[in-house]
Chain A
Amino acid sequence: MNFTRTTAPVSHSRRARLLAIASALCLAAFEPVPAQDIVVRKGAGTRATIEWTGFATQGTGQTVAEVAQADLNRSGWFRVVPTPGAEYRVVGEARDDGGALRAQCTVYETASGRAVLRRTYSGTPAQVRAVAHRMADDIVEAVTGRKGFASAKLVVVGNRTGFKELYVCDSDGHNLIQLTHDRSISLYPRWGGRNEYITYTAYLRNNPAAYRIHVATGQRDLLAGFAGLNMSPVLSPDGRSCALVMSREGNPELYVQTPPGGAATRITRTLQAAEATPTWSPDGSQICFVSDLAGRPQLFVVSRQGGAPRRLTTRGVENVSPNWGPDGRIVYATRVGSQYRLCVLDPTTGQTTPVGPEDASYEDPSWAPNARHVACTRVAGYRASICLIDTVTGETVTLVSGSGDWYAPDWTR
């Protein structure tokens, strides 16, 4: 079957507002200096102490030190200490000299005295937080060999205007920018296509339709706006296909469009069931999704070519909102009483592990690029905020809260 590609009727003013956001999202242009990286692998769950006592700052450079230290504490790998004698030592400076921000850091392993990272950064004072995040990620990677997530960004849904709109923010919740101004209902944003796009569901016309925003230009395309339901569009890892749920043939089913917005292939055929929230495997060969084929919503997996879906979750009355991580594990929300708790599933073994706290309802998880931290919606007392959970230690911090409710975070990867 062939579906026609359509372009959304985006007004000029709407596009202009999206464009203004796009420039603010552009990352700083750095001049990284190749370092003689000596990779020291630390075990997850243990934190190395790192001292930041030999780091000179001037002007906005002070922010570099503060933000990078907070990033290191949030990374799960380090504990920043104020006194000498730590396992690692950061020496360097960050200066804001008349409109140009320059920073430089060297990280020493105290025991051996060796430098494990030596790097310089430059940018404008407005990019001070981006410089700090980059420095923190470089330190994490130099010491642990693992990717950091300080430079990653989140897209979230917020309702502080009285309407659910999309917002983008940094990994620490700062630089919160409103992306859409549609006064409609915007839902389930997902980054895709090497973080060039955000796909989401919105009621811009009459019924829920699937859209794709090109972040750099602010251009928005309608991916699917057929009668009935069009929702949960998610781009494949290569950005060339889009999984989504549509009801145009009379029942909500999972489809794959290639290219996004183009011809769609139906993947499921469940006349007595509803599908939702597809998520792609890292290699793009499989799609995990929610279906209530077995009565209550559970996780299934299917080849992107179609075929018989395989049920992944058998325990728990209700398992929803899967997010397939870069290391192949799936994080999802399982119902416990009247709340949700996060679980991690290894689809190769079928083993599931509960993660994070149980003091509130934790929903809509999204893996950070390090495949260790998860951002999710935390609902407590009927208020929703965005929090970050370290799935190794269970440590949880709030990223975005207040001024209304915040939902459905998704990380750039």
Chain B
Amino acid sequence: MNRSARWMVLVLAVALAASGCRSRPKTSEIGTGENPLGITPTPVQTGELGMGEHPFSGTEVHGQFQPVYFAYDSAAIEDSERGKIEAVADYLRRNPSVKLIVEGHCDERGSNEYNLALGERRALAIRAYLVGLGIAADRIQTKSYGEERPVAMGHNEEAWRLNRRGEFVLVQ
């Protein structure tokens, strides 16, 4: 069983356990227990990782990984989202020629330009987490869309929650 499959089993097991015990808070499903990759992320500050001169170009593959969700006006990675990033780290480790663009997105509320900066902070936080998991910083770039590319079109809490996200784009 490779790492990814092992991780999936673990996630399923934790999810099943959690669903059978409704009093347990949802955020404990993934990420608070044993690290599925067996790697402890090294804390990395976003500002310590330069991005380089030139944006990546190449064939882009969208939608292969689950989006990472964020709280309002926050770029902090929630415990519940760490497993999603760890899955990407696992893929990148097994595919060393693939590069990654992390897209940062925001909900429609707030200043358009501030949201561009906030979206960038979200993408950079995911990038720093990946670097902390041992992925080389020069394989990962960021791209903020602010509030320009919503996935949910409503004007309500649920739409906003789905739009505050980081997305993964593989570049080959």
Which residues of chain A have a CB within 8 Å of any CB of chain B? Answer: 4, 164, 185, 187-188, 201, 205-208, 225-229, 231-232, 245, 247-253, 269-277, 290, 292, 295-297, 318, 320-321, 333, 338, 363-364, 382, 407-408
Q: Evaluate contact between A247 and B142: CB separation under 8 angstroms.
A: yes
Chain A residue with the shortest CB-CB distance to B60: A206
Q: Evaluate contact between B52 and A252: CB separation under 8 angstroms.
A: no
Q: Evaluate contact between A228 and B45: CB separation under 8 angstroms.
A: no
Q: Evaluate contact between B121 and A226: CB separation under 8 angstroms.
A: no
Among residues 140 to 160 in chain B, which have CB atoms less than 8 Å away from a CB atom of chain A?
A: 141-145, 148, 155
Q: Evaluate contact between A321 and B51: CB separation under 8 angstroms.
A: no
Q: Evaluate contact between B141 and A227: CB separation under 8 angstroms.
A: yes
In the complex, how many angstroms separate the beta carbon of A353 from the nearest chain B beta carbon?
20
Q: Evaluate contact between B73 and A229: CB separation under 8 angstroms.
A: no
Give Cα A276–Cα B119 distance, bound, in whole angstroms: 12
Q: Evaluate contact between B52 and A297: CB separation under 8 angstroms.
A: no
Query: Does chain A have a CB within 8 A of B4?
Result: no
Write the B106-142 contact mask toward A (1 if CB under 8 angstroms, else 0).
Answer: 0001111110111011001000000000000000011
Query: Does chain A have a CB within 8 A of B22?
Result: no
Q: Evaluate contact between A382 and B116: CB separation under 8 angstroms.
A: no
Chain B residue with the shortest CB-CB distance to A297: B114
The verdict on A250 contacting B46 (CB below 8 Å), with A276-B113, A276-B116, A320-B114 known, is yes
In the complex, how many angstroms separate the beta carbon of A157 from the nearest chain B beta carbon?
9
Q: Evaluate contact between B114 and A274: CB separation under 8 angstroms.
A: yes
Would you give 18 A-B contacts (Cβ < 8 Å), ordered by A?
Answer: A208-B116, A208-B143, A227-B52, A227-B53, A227-B55, A231-B116, A247-B51, A248-B52, A249-B51, A252-B117, A252-B120, A253-B47, A272-B45, A274-B114, A275-B117, A276-B116, A292-B118, A297-B114
Q: Evaluate contact between B111 and A290: CB separation under 8 angstroms.
A: yes
Query: Does chain A have a CB within 8 A of B33?
Result: no
In the complex, how many angstroms separate the beta carbon of A244 from the nearest chain B beta carbon?
11
Chain B contacts for A185, CB-based, 8 A: 145, 148
Q: Which of B54, B109, B116, B144 has the most CB of A within 10 A?
A: B116
Chain B contacts for A205, CB-based, 8 A: 55
Chain B contacts for A207, CB-based, 8 A: 55, 141-144
The one of A206, A231, A321 in contact with B117, judged by C-beta atoms closer than 8 angstroms, is A231
The verdict on A250 contacting B114 (CB below 8 Å), with A274-B121, A382-B155 known, is no
Q: Evaluate contact between B46 and A251: CB separation under 8 angstroms.
A: yes
Chain B contacts for A364, CB-based, 8 A: 111-112
Chain A contacts for B111, CB-based, 8 A: 276-277, 290, 297, 320-321, 333, 363-364
The verdict on A231 contacting B155 (CB below 8 Å), with A206-B56, A271-B48 known, is no
In the complex, how many angstroms separate the beta carbon of B140 from the nearest chain A beta carbon?
10
Q: Which of A251, A292, A333 has the most CB of B within 10 A?
A: A251
Q: Evaluate contact between A248 and B114: CB separation under 8 angstroms.
A: no
Q: Which 3 A-B pairs have the closest CB atoms?
A: A251-B47, A271-B47, A274-B117
The one of A208, A228, A245, A408 in contact with B51, judged by C-beta atoms closer than 8 angstroms, is A228
Among residues 62 to 108 in chain B, which have CB atoms less than 8 Å away from a CB atom of chain A?
A: 73, 75
Give Cα A188–Cα B56 distance, bound, in whole angstroms: 25
Query: Does chain A have a CB within 8 A of B57?
Result: yes
Chain A contacts for B13, CB-based, 8 A: none
Chain A contacts for B112, CB-based, 8 A: 187-188, 364, 407-408
Chain B contacts for A269, CB-based, 8 A: 47
Query: Does chain A have a CB within 8 A of B50?
Result: yes
Chain A residue with the shortest CB-CB distance to B137: A250
The one of B57, B114, B144 in contact with A208, judged by C-beta atoms closer than 8 angstroms, is B144
Give Cα A338–Cα B72 distance, bound, in whole angstroms: 13
Query: Does chain A have a CB within 8 A of B8?
Result: no
The verdict on A228 contacting B113 (CB below 8 Å), with A250-B50, A251-B47 known, is no
Query: Does chain A have a CB within 8 A of B49?
Result: yes
A232-B116, A290-B114, A320-B110 given; 12 more Cβ-contact pairs under 8 Å: A187-B113, A207-B142, A208-B144, A226-B52, A226-B54, A227-B52, A228-B143, A269-B47, A271-B47, A275-B117, A363-B111, A364-B112
